[in-house]
Structure 1
Amino acid sequence: MTEIMPVSTDVDPELADAVTTLPDLDLADVDGGRRTLDSIVAAAGPADTTGVTVEEWLVPGAPGGPEVPVRIHTPDMCPDGNPAGRPVVLEIHGGGFVLGSAAHSEAFAAAVARATGAVVISVDYRLAPEHPYPAAADDCYAVLEWIASGAACLDIDPDRVVVLGDSAGGALAATVALRARDEGGPRIALQALLEPALDDRLETASMRGGGATAVWDNRKAAQSWRHYLGGQEPTEQSVPARRADLTGLPPTYLTVNELDPLRDEGLVYAQRLLQAGVRVELHCWPGVFHGFTLVRGAGATRRAARSLYDAIVRATARTPVLDHD
């Protein structure tokens, strides 16, 4: 197909300072990168969990694997008046497969819970390079299966499950959706892939041509996939973009950023989903770079959040019962 070339290098004015001031997340130094992300999250201040109850649980992992820590965010609000059957969002954090935690995404998870009325379950999956593929994917899929099997205990509706991931979490969310399809697993109402990392080949025009910021560039992308694969050859199971058959996947909400090296692989994946007959809602956010939502107060961050909340609400809405009398 024709290469999708960059449109602009103009950064949203509210985000311009962040391009140079966000600390460098160096994945060549894993421990240093983790400390840097800790400092970014700490600088943002405490997460606002107003109106949300947060609990830490351990849930069964994959066969032969360890238990998986999760953080469960239950909102006080229940829009449809049925607290015993809320929708649920399985939230998978980003961080290049190497960085991050469920605690780091606390503000985001609580905001999603408040805005949608869904129970948001954030997964503390095992990180590479200590735990290469399939550890993280197994952990995330095990939590999806636990959600479906433990619906009564959680007071959620297993037919209204959203799998949501950002960046590397988007790769894991896509992997979970593919596995659920392949294995006849739990039904997913929506896969929400936010600025996802989907392709280890790093051959797109946006990956080769710039869009680099302190948060992400093609060098960090290559490092993240090396850590994740741990010396294994990439396969259709480990890399979503390598999957030949995308039919039968759940409706998809997918976002890309105009100034992001990952932009074009997201666009290509969205196109392939559409060609496979999958319903896709695609957003390309102008003037923004990878990780722009770290700037919490920016207008672009607020717009992206509202769009996501709306997509989750629409995907998990109950079908109205018609009164024929």
Structure 2
Amino acid sequence: MLEPEIAAFVARADAIYPDNTASLPTVEQRAIYERFAAAFTPARPAGVGVQNATLVTAAGHSIRLRLYAKDEGAQSPGTLLYFHGGGFVFGSLDSHEIVTARLAADTGLCVVAVDYRLAPEHPAPAAHEDCLDITLAALDGRLPFGSLPAPLLLAGDSAGANLAASVAMRLRDSGIEGVAGVALIYPMLGAEPQSPARETEANAPMLTLAGVRMYSRLYWGDAAPPVWTVPIEASRFDGLPPVLSIGVEHDPLRDDARVFAERIQAAGGEAQLWIAPGLVHGCWRALETSPGVQRMHDKVCRFLLDSAGRRVR
């Protein structure tokens, strides 16, 4: 059963999206997505400033970044790289400001939002390569914001959670340390969702199984995905930083969060799992109105601060 406040959120979202949205060209769908995001984005929290910059990767790709930080003089406990959701197809620095600005305000972390390349213009593994390059630059002190505080944390929602998990695994495989924690919110961790939510929540509000498969085709195509871009199918789950994996009840991706956390735990790693009752995919936008989302947000903030306070692996 949907939380009442989430039912109202879903109704408001449905009113923004035309019935024929899925049949429109990608550029038009992106415009609708940005209008939808703007409708749920409040004013930036007082005391949080922003700085925009661009980093050119070694491959020559220009990646826009946005730093959210509390006023000068406030001591930050660390830096968070945030990878937005949107199925690898939608999303921007603006679309997820309700998340990134509030994370900066509520944790004091320096939050860097990453505007990676999108599909279908840039298929797999473009988004993954961009996020890996930005993470390596952050670890090396090469982000264009001057000196940012250690330790480094990673987080993302939906497809962005895939990016965060994939980058953490790639760093582990390369023997690169420095990430203190990874937060995954309603993650999309493979090309196909895990059961039983894949079946029981196939027609869930906000995201359907058909929608997940559409995004998968647009990013990965019909060929087998590059192995490192599907973290739930990894050959090993040990050696990772602490992970928070949050699924939501009414979401075909719900069990991606569960299976990933269970595999980390079985490998002897540290993974916290929470399945949020009454919530739907994309619900972080209902932070201003939903008690359940506020609880979810608080869990993310506590995990990030706890992870920042530990010694990095």
Unaligned residue ranges in structure 1 (runs of 5+):
1-9, 320-325
Q: Distance in 2 between matches of 1:90 and 1:183?
A: 19
Task: Give the letter for the 1:65 counterpart.
Answer: G
1:254 aligned residue (231, 245, 249): 245
Count of aligned residue pairs for this structure pair: 304
Report the Cα distance in structure 2 between the residues aligned to 1:76 and 1:168, rounded to whole angstroms: 31
Matches within 5 A, 1:225-240: 225-240=216-231
Residue 42 of structure 1 is aligned with which of 38, 41, 49?
38
**What amino acid is the match of 1:50?**
A
Q: Deviations over 1:251-293 (max 9, x none)?
A: 0011001111101121111100101111111111111111122
Q: Tell me how far apart the structure 1 counterparts of residues 256 and 35 of structure 2 sit (CA, whole Å).
A: 30
Of 314, 320, 323, which aligns to 2:306?
Answer: 314
1:203 & 1:68 partners in 2: Cα distance?
32
Match of 2:254 in 1: 263
In structure 1, the partner of 2:109 is: 118
1:72-87 residue pairs with structure 2 within 5 A? Answer: 72-76=67-71, 82=75, 86-87=77-78
Equivalent in the alignment of 2:148: 156
Which residue does the alignment assign to 2:234? 243
Q: Does 1:129 align with 2:120?
A: yes
Q: Indicate whether 1:59 and 2:76 are aligned.
A: no
Is the 2:156–2:183 Cα contact (8 Å) retained in structure 1? yes
Alpha-carbon offset, residue 48 of structure 1: 1.4
The more displaced of 260-269 and 226-235 is 226-235
Q: Structure 2: any 5+ residue segments left out of the alignment?
A: none
Residue 22 of structure 1: SS of its match in structure 2? Answer: helix
Q: Deviation of residue 203 (structure 1)?
A: 4.9
1:125–1:47 CA distance, 2 compared to 1 (3 A): farther
1:192-241 deviation line (CA, Å, top 9, x unaligned): 00000012133512112225344201001001111111343124212111
Tell which structure's C-alpha radius of gyration is larger.
Answer: 1
CA-based RMSD: 2.1
* 8 A Cα contact 2:194 2:255, kept in partner: no
Q: Aligned equivalents of 1:38 and 1:110: distance in 2?
A: 17
Residues 28 and 150 (structure 1 numbering): CA distance in 2 closer, same or farther, change over 3 Å? farther
Code of the residue aligned with 1:301 in structure 2: it is: V
Amino acid at match of 1:74: A
Deviation at 1:184, TM superposition (A): 2.2
The aligned amino acid for 1:271 is: E
3-state secondary structure, aligned to 1:265: helix
291-300 or 173-182, which deviates more: 291-300
Aligned with 2:227: secondary structure?
coil
Query: Equivalent pairs: percent with the same residue?
Result: 31
Q: Which residue of 2 aligns with 1:201?
A: 192
Q: 1:318 to 1:239 in 2, by over 3 A?
A: closer
CA-CA distance at 1:20 after TM superposition: 3.8
Can you list the C-alpha shifts for 1:68-106, whole angstroms capped at 9, x where unaligned?
11001111277xx745xx400000000011001111112
**Secondary structure of 2:124's match?**
coil
SS in 1 for 2:78: strand
Distance change >3 Å, CA 313–CA 35, structure 1 → 2: same
CA 1:264–1:77: 2 relative to 1, 3 Å: farther
Distance 2:4 2:75 in 1: 43
Deviations 1:120-176 (A, max 9, x none): 000000000100111111111111111111179633234x11100100101111111
Native 8 Å contact 1:68 1:123 kept in 2: yes
Pick closer, same or farther for the CA change 1:258–1:185 going to 2, 3 Å: same
1:98/1:228 contact within 8 Å kept: yes
Provide the rounded CA distance (Å) in 1 between the counterparts of 2:231 and 2:7.
32
The separation in 2 between residues aligned to 1:57 and 1:295, in whole angstroms, is 28
Q: CA offsets per residue over residues 282-313 of structure 1, 9 Å max, x none? A: 11111111112222321112111111111111
2:29 counterpart of 1:33:
yes
Check the 8 A contact 2:79/2:153 in 1, yes or no.
yes
SS at match of 2:155: strand
Query: For residues 99 and 232 of structure 1, what CA distance do their matches in structure 2 show?
Result: 22
Residue type of the partner of 1:311? F
How far did 1:110 drift? 1.2
